[in-house]
Chains A and B, each alone.
Chain A
Amino acid sequence: MFSEALIPVVIFIAVYVAISFEWLNKAVAAILGVMALFIIGVVDETAAARYIDFETLMLLIGMMGIVAVLKKSGFFTILTVRIARMTGGQPLRILILFCALTAVLSAFLDNVTTVLIMVPIIIELTVGMGLDPKIYVIALAMASNLGGTATLIGDPPNIIIGSKVGLTFNQFVVYLFVPVVISTVAVIAYFWATNRESFKSINDDLTKLFSVQLLIEKIEYDFLAIKLDRLFLIKSIICLGITLLLFVSHTITHLSPGVVALTTSMILFVITRMEIEHILLEVEWSTLMFFTGLFILVGALEEKGIIEWVARNIFLQAGNDPYVMVLMVLWVSAIASGFIDNIPFTITMIPIVRMMLDVQPIPHNILWWALSLGACMGGNLTLIGASANIVSAGMLKKYGHGVSFGEYTRKSAPGTILSLIICTVVLIVYLRIFL
């Protein structure tokens, strides 16, 4: 078995290394790996097509299309600028309101889109007030990864787990909402407690109050230049609302999230009369190629029995105590996601978790929630743990406030560990209730 499996393992590791060290574009690395499997004859095209999870791809394309149209409406920018005014320039209020809005938006949009909308405004606001934008931006990126954990569509690992395992939108919300909310509050509290001086009220400083008023006017001028098409906006929001409603009512309609998202996105394209070529440019085709490649690579490993070997010889060596299994999946996923891309990691872990459940069934999908919490929240551990972190750090650099890997990790890791401890407690409570 080992000689037969050696080639896909070597190719898989090579792809992983190329992705982790950013030697190659993620999509190119994954597809090159697949092509190598084809050329060597490890898998053929028919088998490859079987490995691809089309449900995940449909959900991703659908949501990317909806988000692209919503972004064009300018709705999120207007919302963010309104929040900036609501903060009144109070540092603590900026932290709380921006993190809360980011977490909520991230639960429904992809995390990178959310930080792309929020980060420029928070940087303008904090730099204009003479504050250090790094704390705010890192907190924002963390809130985005945390918020994304709460729903089926919030973060790619959840989309993969949801569609591969058949978990519904409601199940994600029911089981993950509580740990996500507590973790977000804890992370905000952590940033406040460790930087109290920076979050002091400015109400006793007339010059700062004056600067803030002027600054908010300037931000409104800079960011609200877009002409809002109300009809376009209403259509977009109605479509997003219907999509969410259909996700929630899955048990009645039996429509899978992928079908719902792709259908509503196409309806949205028709009713808003958007230039389709224009909108399709916003769909991250490279991400979809990356997913496709990974599905095939992991499918080949599964077919050759590698996944089963890893599950039996690594994860099941720790025994079949549900508490140990759940916490191991949570922490291993979190630490791994802090350093490697959580998408390939989740795709690899799904068959492993399935085998662990075959050995020791755990009710109420708690082991899947452990994987989701670990893979999504672990992204907060380091700068390279999640795309939202890298994008946020890039924007900080663009504004002249570059942040190194070490500095980012020193600021983000304690909050991440805190959130993982909270998840540990919540998962133990779930196990105590349901076992």
Chain B
Amino acid sequence: MQAWYHCENVYPFVPQEVLDRAESVRASLPNKYCDPKISADLFEECLDEHLLCDGLGVNVVSIEHHSGINSLYGASPMILGILARQTKKVRILSLGTLITVRPDPVRVAEEYATADVISRGRLEIGFVKSGDSEMVSGNANPIGYVDRFWEAIDLIQKTLTSHDGPFSWEGKHYTHRHVNIWPPVYQRPHPPMWAATGDPETSAELGRRGMINALVLRGPEASKRAFDAYRDARREAGLPAPGTDRFAYAALAYVGDTDEEGVRVGSKLLWFLNTSLKQSPQMSKLLPGRSPPEVTAQNYRSQPKPGAARRPADSLIGITAEQAIARGILCAGNPDTVYKQIMDIYDKVGGFAHFIFIGRSGFLDHQEAEKGIRLMAKEVLPRLPAAMQTPAAQPARAAE
């Protein structure tokens, strides 16, 4: 199994009374509450954690979120560029550039190709649909974002695999008349592609495309539903059954020397759920576009009737460590315990070859994060099962 270290580079140092008063900790919280000197320290620490991972054989994830305490990584390709140069061995996953809020996928493809070249073929490209406050801070129309998501992926894939001079793209959402990026990608035909998503329809399409499906903080049940949709779609399309190499599971995770330490320190990760998810209703449940009106209408009521659409994140706010562990959102304890927790999830979802662990968040500090990474790499990762390859999967290879 591959382990992937995931850190959102959060900014937890805004006074609690400010957060309590704010309608949203994303998009509209003034950036005067973000000290650039503290931010510089955070970047240094988080990037150092990625370098530690490089030495330990733990792959690294570069994410992107905008305008809030939940992440200072506003531009995944920029962080990719640093990781591509500073790490030497491990693979680097962008999960991912918020493609639905970017006006030009060709530009994103160009940035990805550059990072792939700098890293000499260690890049993996993940896509996320984004939504909620990021539509607002990204100035992107929340209606039709799923269509934009797929067209952007198509255009990026075409851009990365075209090597014979300019091609033209006149799609529904994107037009670009002269596409011919330099440098081309290092890996051929292109770096492995992923998407983080939880809805079965999207997973089914990922299955047909053979992309890696990552489920982030969704727990085993929702993950299994998504993975099953992936498998079913491939079977219905007459494609080979996927190996575990097509599936990724992401959870908050912390390994301590003891269960007590693992849970005590790991509980700090819950800040991400309990503090950084606060969004104003107009930027979340009342923002059109995420679900059909038939589903979202109830959100206007002060007491929505049963069956109203809830964002997956809503059910995570206020969660305790015990609940989070029971729901497969948090893995925490000593190495044995964490190994068992991961394998329990593994069995419930039908296997995965990629375990993404969110190992730093909130007030969990740099030293604690590095200890957790070391224990995960040395005491847990070696015991996790090997990946099962998908028969038709095309292994990436270096450009000749």
Query: Do A and B assemble together?
Result: no
